[in-house]
Structure 1
Amino acid sequence: MRFAYSPLSFAILTALSTSIYANDLSQAATSASIDSPIPLTPIVMQAEKTVVLGTTSYTKEDLEKTPNSSKNITDFLKVNPNVQFSNDHLAASTQADLKPAEISIHGAQSFQNKFIINGVSNTNILDPQGNGNAYTGQLASGSQGVAINTDLLCNLDVLDSNVSAKYGSFTGGVISADTCAPDTEIGKIHGSISYDYTESDWSRYHLKTDADKDLFEDETTQANQNEYTRQGISANMYSKLSEQWGINLYGSERRSVIPVASGFDTPAHIEQKKHNSNIGATAFYTPNDEMKGKFGFTLGDLEDNNHTASRRNSKNTVTNDSLMIFGELNQQTDWAKLKHKLNYQKIDNVRDWLDDEGKVWLYAEGSKDWQDTDKVKEGSLGTDIRLKQESFNYEFDAIFNHFKWGQSVHQISAGAGYQRDDVSWSRPNTASLYVATTHSTNPNLVTLKNLNGEKCAAGDRLCDEAVTAPFTYKDQEYTYNGQYYVSGTLHEAGTFDGIYEQSFLYVEDEINWNKFKARLGVRADYDGANNNLNFAPRSSFSYKPFTNDALTLTTGWNRYYSAPTYNTDLQREIAGLSYTIKRADQNSEWVKSPNVTYNSTRKTDLDTPYADEFILGLNSQFKNTNVILKWVNREYKDEITRNRTDIPLDSTYKYSYEYGNDGYGSADTYTLSINTVNPLNFKGSWHQFGLALDYNKRVRGTPDYTENTIDTDMTKLVSYDGKIMQYADRPASNFNQPFAARLNWDIGFNALPLKIYHFFSYKNEYNQAISSTNKVEYEGVKLDTYVVEKIKPRFSWDMRTTYDWKIGKDYDAIFGLTINNLTNRNNQFVYNSKLYSEIGRRFIADITFKF
């Protein structure tokens, strides 16, 4: 597709920009030291923190300058070397999507991260890995509740390893973000309004593989977004109302419109719309120097309208409505700093279909003739679903004053918390599906029969008297004199409700002794879903041989327990709602029987999944350079799987499923980061550099809890790239980029309000396993074979430029342009055994007005 050159394009091309990933040191002080003719926005930046290996902090400036085309947290985290994305997250065909991408930290599954916004959990714990299966009651809702716009955030912390005992309910990492707090003159109102725009004509597409051509030479569909517009607007307003009170109001709206082909003559296209809205407010109260508090709310609404091409009345809408209400009180006493948090989280995931029946008919002129084909389709391909999660949470933390014991100094922290989760699933309407099978060697599998000129019963929606067009089966031509269904699948309405409790208690001692520093802690979590009490030791040790920041050696041993996943109870309850329905002829009554293809899943006594971590690293700061070298080893155990067994559930079921703790995995991540601490000045300009290299080795032994497995499948031998190994020992097929390099280069000018940010990313060649039909013989047995498709190295140069125009004493207009994949390189990936291309060069224009 050709890039559309326009006056706007040329005007914005004068400003270029990109982003940088922040290092483990907070850059707030660095940002303040840079001379600029335009004052920074008067909001509270993240305070400088003690360097902790495994924690990366990003400031408001980092969030603004990074070329984040989707304006969400996970897209921004491409700058973090400990975060990996799925192979297809940059697919050229899905760039109009607004749903945040799923990420993996140190090999954990994508739903095993903990997201926090303003101190409130933003994690989906009901069914975060729902694969969207339309009839089994699952919904692809994702791991986050509110898909918050990064324009609304002022700081972001990523805790990927060496995590304090204060945090629990994760085995991947913790991503914590906060909206802004006012730091203005009393009575003054400050804020910003931002707008960004891009469209498909502002992007380049590579059509060099057969799979790409299949997608992009056809008209736009849901899976092939080769024509779209995407735009967003966000606003922030904050003010210090008095010495005691301050307020922050914020909101955003992002929309994509995709004119997808309907598959019909009229209308030829249907506008598929996606939108993501955020709105919220925070009030800050500081009555005196010893006490401060804040309370507020955040709302999120992520909506996606869909339809199936060439299927009449197939519209469906998927929405994710989220609400977070939070309150926090901090108190300084003579003996400790105390913090109380009271939070409420609600996530509603809903799918609504226009029709509750799905049918496929033979073409019949005058009746079933809305499509020029031998078969015509109408109605739904799934059922209406309601998933609801409500969480009430109270937490208390105390950081006690330092005290001496011998030659060491100690600071003890302790905390406790309680959470109640009310979850529910419902299918409000009974739905049915009918597939047109006219012939089969097994007569019981024939679903659509010849009416032979007889009459349909009055009001029978599954019978049609019109003569069908001729159709062919095994080289023989047939014509039905009317048609009617004798078999289908029924999914009854139903509900599931559950109330679960979680609680935790932790204690931690931070010890300083001469050149040594240690953090020793333990966390106890009660998992009410599985009635488990879990103890997680946490430890960190560091040594500074020169008593300064020239060299710091760090190691630690930690255990992390996963958040409960209530889907194990959910699937057990809803699986029995599916039936096969049959009738002898068009005049007979329908008879239903349990559908053996939807067996119930038994829940045995499950252990809580956990990960054991070992970390070893060093940090060195020499003059203006900071170097971090880190190795993180993770071993994942007791992960939940859905296992098929030969145990019959009753006389009807020939087999059944049960949940177990058979999942496991491992990951090794090696990271080297080198960054300048302060900008380098050169002939009226300043330059900031950062380099990060990471090498990964990951094994994912078993699928997640949504996939069916058999124990013998996990241990059977297979041929993988010529090597014989157990099926479960294959390298992870996703989130497993072996090597990547990231380089950032930020440029500013003392005499010009122009800033240029470069972000270079290189990912080396990697092997993608593809199942082969050819068998390999080993010790007299033919083994399933996986051949390896070598994916060539991928390089991307992202750029962002901003030009600040001061239009008044307190008013600034900032023009920005983001260019992704500046060199228009054809980067490729494998999906479903086919080779596809990532998006080529793409332009995104934005403007921000600050006051």
Structure 2
Amino acid sequence: MAQTADNPPETAAENAGVVTRTMPEVQVQAERMEARVYDRAEMDATAGGNRDLTSLISDNPAVTLNPSMSGNGNRGSLAPESFSIHGESPFQNQFLIDGISGTNVINPQEGALGLQVGRVPGFSQAYNIDTELLDEVRVFDNRIPVEYGSFQGGVIDARIRTPKGTNTVKIKRSFNSSNLTQQEMPEGVVEDWENGEPGYSSVWKKHFTSMQGDFRLTQDSNALVSFSRRESQIQRQSKVLDRSVAVPNGKAYTLDMHDEKDQVDDLLAKLHTNWGGGTTSNLLLKYSNRQEDLVSNSYADTAWTNRQKAMGLGLEVFQQLDNGKLTATLGVDQLNAARESSADAFTVQLFADKSLSSYTWGGFGKESLEQRQYTGKLRMDWNTFANGAVRHKVYGGVDLTSTDASFVRHQDSYTYNQTLLANGQQSITTENRYQAGTVGVGYNDLALYLSDTMQLGNVALLASARVERDTLLGNTNVAPRMGLDWDVLGNGQTQLGMGWSRYYGLNLMGYALEQGKSELLSYVIQKGVVVNKPGTMVNHSYEGLQTPYSDEWAFSWTQQLSPMWEAGLSYVRRASRDGVTTEGNSTTGYFYTNGGSGQAETATFSLRTLKPWKAAGADWTARMAFSWKDSYRNHDSTLGWEAEGLAADDIVEVNGVQMQRKDKPYSAFTQPRELMLGTTARWSMAGVTWGNRIKWKSSRSGVAYLGTSKGVERYATQRLPSYVTWDSTLSYQPAMLKGLTLSLDVLNLLNRQVPIAIANAAAANNVRYQTGREIWLAAAYEF
């Protein structure tokens, strides 16, 4: 239920320094099961690992990771991991920072790290934010409020702390290495793993440093400045050609092992000003830059860097009026991804002298995907008013987002197939030129929304709707979101809720750039003959495409068992429709259709403490959740919009048995059953905090694709066992050194390294393993 005090809590805090709440008739003591808030205290009591958003929220029953990625032998990497919410596409989540989108809408599905012209890796989380810099993270997974749009999965809103003017500075250092991490690799990938090939890391050292300062500038202005550097030095093997020999060739090389860098820099700054007369403002600066340096031991003298760089400026202005509160938000964000190679020509070098060995070397210069986003929002929250016996809480607003996306090739780059002849001349068989240039597309998204919570006695009805118009597909979409809540006994102890909502998805703009990218190719030499002709333009057609959407039915029950404990039960059903799928090929062109569909169900039983209990001299809090999930899709949503729509009644072969496709086990982003238990104990007098997070994951089927036989797709499955992980964190604040905090984080304390996914599409017994015990050491000082 929404808070219905006429004087909003924010205003009370600003004007009086305390929060005064007037409880409505429908008392709300229960936690809304559709929203999960991770506050600073919980984050501090949770073993953080890489301190990324995915690791933080992975205990949420609505969130599912991809097992084949969770244990991929790349723990040295600082890349954020993708996740699915209620079975939806992992690229259909909306990431916000203080209410402004920081979501990559160009190519979040492109995760391949290898070197290929025109391919730039990307991540949905354009801002790779260190959770150490956040005040809280809000996760909305069902009955999502109407002010949020452009998603089919969920909304993750990271909030930066509003400065209080305490004139304090906090510095924290964390350390982890491969010597403090246990891993097991399947035989088929051990060599790549040990050599540190792209996507693997066996030897690394991580050093994380963060600094936060909260300063009072004037009587009415406070500033918060936060900086973080997370650095991982990963040992990688590169192939170095010996160019001191008379004729450098593939037999004259060395394999050098040295450290390469994976580094993330984050800078956040917020200026809070109280202007008087009920007006306050927040000015926010955001900057995040990840740089991953990669080399190859297959190609000679080949190195490249993948970079994700995001920066933005946001302004929030709050005006308290007699009849409510007006909020205006403005933002501009530049969200870039780039791949920078050490060379701008990629060459396959052959030799007429067969005693010499061929080799491949080079790169494709710099290519980038650049997203410029302008955001404007206006929202009005009216004071609660009565119409007869019905009390209304109404708010509404308008959102305008303008997004420009572009692919940029910063210089001409080339590919060559050439042979060194006996006379010392190069005979070029193939030369392709990839022209420097920019391909761009842009669109505007206008949204209007209105919400009214009508309360009569112990019942509250939510009626809200969001109307969106985007110019990329030219669609106008209406997304109603309805809810009904009943405080059964009128004392807040037993509450029932239900809701029906529609969510329209994100546009993935990278596909709108593909046709223009194909026009930057020209053929210079083919089969040894100079042709100088343009490359084949590949058509990409979006005509008549509808915006994908999901309909949701959600039911919840919460029961206060005692003054200390509360139980909850929820059920969420998602039906996804008009998913974008692809038909055609590079010869005929690609045609995008709305052939995708899916369905997912999640049932969750939860238990949490309402206030701490005393035991062993400590204050204890706990949270437990057991979830059951089931999902089906007729397309592979991990491919973004590249997936083909597949008929449910197609015949496939699984373990030698033919069946309909709808009956084939599904393995990506699935976890049939899961149990999570989290506890936190605080010995305040001793300065000790002990946090634990225990997870049980049920057994599941791993699926490997084995190719086709007589036109029938063949799969093999392997039953993957259930397993338990225990993450623990222990922190100590010695009384004799005020401001000092020492902490120890241990992930997977029990060191369970069980198979969690089939990794090799050609062999059903080539599995990936759960990462074993991982130890982190940290020290922080606040002065």
Query: TM-score normalised to the size of structure 1?
Result: 0.82
Show CA shifts across 1:232-252 (max 9, x none). Answer: 100111123344111111111
Q: Which residue of 2 is the match for residue 336 of structure 1? A: 324
TM-fit CA distance, 1:362: 3.9
TM-fit CA distance, 1:633: 0.5
Matching of residue 701 in structure 1 with residue 634 in structure 2: yes
Note if contact 1:326-1:343 (Cα within 8 Å) is conserved in structure 2.
Answer: yes
Show CA shifts across 1:591-631 (max 9, x none). Answer: 44635xx7332222211111100001101112111111111
Show CA shifts across 1:777-821 (max 9, x none). Answer: xxxx8732222111111221111000112345xx41100011111
Alpha-carbon distance between aligned partners in 2 of 1:182 and 1:770, rounded to the nearest angstrom: 51
Question: Which segment drifts farther, 575-584 or 658-667?
Answer: 575-584
1:86 counterpart letter in structure 2: N
1:608 counterpart letter in structure 2: T
Q: Which residue of 2 is the match for residue 682 of structure 1? A: 615
* Cα separation, partners in 2 of 1:212 and 1:825, compared to 1, 3 Å: farther
Q: 1:246 aligns with which of 222, 230, 242?
A: 222
What are the ranges of 5 or more consecutive residues in structure 1 without an aligned counterpart? 1-23, 26-42, 436-447, 457-462, 464-483, 646-652, 776-780
Q: Which residue of 2 is the match for residue 226 of structure 1? A: 202
Alpha-carbon distance between aligned partners in 1 of 2:149 and 2:63, rounded to the nearest angstrom: 19
Q: 1:738 aligns with which of 672, 676, 684?
A: 672
Note if contact 2:416-2:432 (Cα within 8 Å) is conserved in structure 1.
Answer: yes
Q: Which residue of 2 is the match for residue 191 of structure 1? A: 169
Alpha-carbon distance between aligned partners in 1 of 2:396 and 2:30, rounded to the nearest angstrom: 19
Q: 1:843 aligns with which of 775, 780, 783?
A: 775
Note if contact 2:596-2:645 (Cα within 8 Å) is conserved in structure 1.
Answer: no
Note if contact 1:212-1:836 (Cα within 8 Å) is conserved in structure 2.
Answer: no
Q: Which residue of 2 is the match for residue 417 of structure 1? A: 399
Matching of residue 798 in structure 1 with residue 780 in structure 2: no
Q: 1:603 aligns with which of 526, 542, 545?
A: 542
Which secondary structure state, in structure 2, belongs to the residue aligned with residue 573 of structure 1?
helix
Q: Which residue of 2 is the match for residue 439 of structure 1? A: none
2:97 counterpart letter in structure 1: I
Q: 1:171 aligns with which of 131, 152, 169?
A: 152
Alignment of 1:372-521 (within 5 A): 374-380=357-363, 382=364, 384-434=366-416, 451=421, 453=422, 456=425, 463=426, 484-521=427-464
TM-fit CA distance, 1:490: 3.9
Q: 1:789 aligns with which of 704, 714, 718?
A: 718
Alpha-carbon distance between aligned partners in 1 of 2:399 and 2:553, rounded to the nearest angstrom: 27
Q: Which residue of 1 is the match for residue 248 of structure 2? A: none
Matching of residue 88 in structure 1 with residue 65 in structure 2: no
Alpha-carbon distance between aligned partners in 2 of 1:44 and 1:565, rounded to the nearest angstrom: 44
Q: 2:565 aligns with which of 614, 625, 648?
A: 625
Q: Which residue of 1 is the match for residue 530 of structure 2? A: 589
Which secondary structure state, in structure 2, belongs to the residue aligned with residue 628 of structure 1?
strand
1:674 counterpart letter in structure 2: L
Show CA shifts across 1:410-436 (max 9, x none). Answer: 11111012121122211122333346x
Alignment of 1:199-278 (within 5 A): 199-207=177-185, 209-211=186-188, 213-215=190-192, 218-264=194-240, 268-278=256-266
* Cα separation, partners in 2 of 1:127 and 1:309, compared to 1, 3 Å: same
Which secondary structure state, in structure 2, belongs to the residue aligned with residue 570 of structure 1?
helix
* Cα separation, partners in 2 of 1:731 and 1:575, compared to 1, 3 Å: farther
Q: Which residue of 2 is the match for residue 108 of structure 1? A: 88
Note if contact 2:635-2:644 (Cα within 8 Å) is conserved in structure 1.
Answer: no
* Cα separation, partners in 2 of 1:712 and 1:644, compared to 1, 3 Å: farther
1:633 counterpart letter in structure 2: R
Q: Which residue of 2 is the match for residue 445 of structure 1? A: none
Show CA shifts across 1:111-146 (max 9, x none). Answer: 111111122211111222234475463322100121
Matching of residue 558 in structure 1 with residue 533 in structure 2: no
Q: Which residue of 2 is the match for residue 354 of structure 1? A: 342
Identity %: 21
Alpha-carbon distance between aligned partners in 1 of 2:103 and 2:272, rounded to the nearest angstrom: 25
* Cα separation, partners in 2 of 1:134 and 1:378, compared to 1, 3 Å: closer
* Cα separation, partners in 2 of 1:540 and 1:706, compared to 1, 3 Å: closer
Alpha-carbon distance between aligned partners in 2 of 1:92 and 1:455, rounded to the nearest angstrom: 45
Alpha-carbon distance between aligned partners in 1 of 2:479 and 2:642, rounded to the nearest angstrom: 30
Q: 1:639 aligns with which of 548, 559, 579?
A: 579
Which secondary structure state, in structure 1, belongs to the residue aligned with residue 403 of structure 2?
strand
Note if contact 1:644-1:708 (Cα within 8 Å) is conserved in structure 2.
Answer: no
1:666 counterpart letter in structure 2: Q
Which secondary structure state, in structure 2, belongs to the residue aligned with residue 271 of structure 1?
strand
Q: 1:749 aligns with which of 644, 664, 683?
A: 683
TM-fit CA distance, 1:296: 2.0
Which secondary structure state, in structure 1, belongs to the residue aligned with residue 43 of structure 2?
helix
Which secondary structure state, in structure 2, belongs to the residue aligned with residue 111 of structure 1?
coil
Q: Which residue of 2 is the match for residue 145 of structure 1? A: 126
1:422 counterpart letter in structure 2: D
2:435 counterpart letter in structure 1: E
Which secondary structure state, in structure 2, belongs to the residue aligned with residue 151 of structure 1?
helix
1:536 counterpart letter in structure 2: A
Alpha-carbon distance between aligned partners in 1 of 2:80 and 2:416, rounded to the nearest angstrom: 34
* Cα separation, partners in 2 of 1:229 and 1:511, compared to 1, 3 Å: same
* Cα separation, partners in 2 of 1:671 and 1:487, compared to 1, 3 Å: same
Q: 2:744 aligns with which of 817, 821, 825?
A: 817
Q: Which residue of 1 is the match for residue 520 of structure 2? A: 577
Show CA shifts across 1:282-324 (max 9, x none). Answer: 1111133622111121111111111111422311112111112
TM-fit CA distance, 1:710: 5.5
* Cα separation, partners in 2 of 1:455 and 1:347, compared to 1, 3 Å: same
What are the ranges of 5 or more consecutive residues in structure 2 without an aligned counterpart? 4-16, 22-27, 241-252
Alpha-carbon distance between aligned partners in 1 of 2:645 and 2:103, rounded to the nearest angstrom: 31
* Cα separation, partners in 2 of 1:90 and 1:568, compared to 1, 3 Å: closer
Alpha-carbon distance between aligned partners in 2 of 1:534 and 1:709, rounded to the nearest angstrom: 24
Note if contact 1:642-1:658 (Cα within 8 Å) is conserved in structure 2.
Answer: yes
Which secondary structure state, in structure 2, belongs to the residue aligned with residue 79 of structure 1?
coil
Q: CA RMSD in A?
A: 2.8
Show CA shifts across 1:531-571 (max 9, x none). Answer: 11100000111112111222111100000011222223211
TM-fit CA distance, 1:200: 0.7
Alpha-carbon distance between aligned partners in 2 of 1:233 and 1:58, rounded to the nearest angstrom: 22
Q: 1:294 aligns with which of 282, 285, 292?
A: 282
Note if contact 1:701-1:729 (Cα within 8 Å) is conserved in structure 2.
Answer: no
Which secondary structure state, in structure 1, belongs to the residue aligned with residue 464 of structure 2?
strand
* Cα separation, partners in 2 of 1:269 and 1:247, compared to 1, 3 Å: same
Which secondary structure state, in structure 2, belongs to the residue aligned with residue 312 of structure 1?
coil
Show CA shifts across 1:462-509 (max 9, x none). Answer: x1xxxxxxxxxxxxxxxxxxxx33135443333212231111101110
Which secondary structure state, in structure 2, belongs to the residue aligned with residue 75 of structure 1?
helix
Note if contact 2:351-2:420 (Cα within 8 Å) is conserved in structure 1.
Answer: no
Matching of residue 127 in structure 1 with residue 104 in structure 2: no
* Cα separation, partners in 2 of 1:332 and 1:285, compared to 1, 3 Å: same
TM-fit CA distance, 1:669: 0.8
Note if contact 1:219-1:261 (Cα within 8 Å) is conserved in structure 2.
Answer: yes
2:545 counterpart letter in structure 1: L
1:272 counterpart letter in structure 2: E
Note if contact 1:155-1:179 (Cα within 8 Å) is conserved in structure 2.
Answer: yes
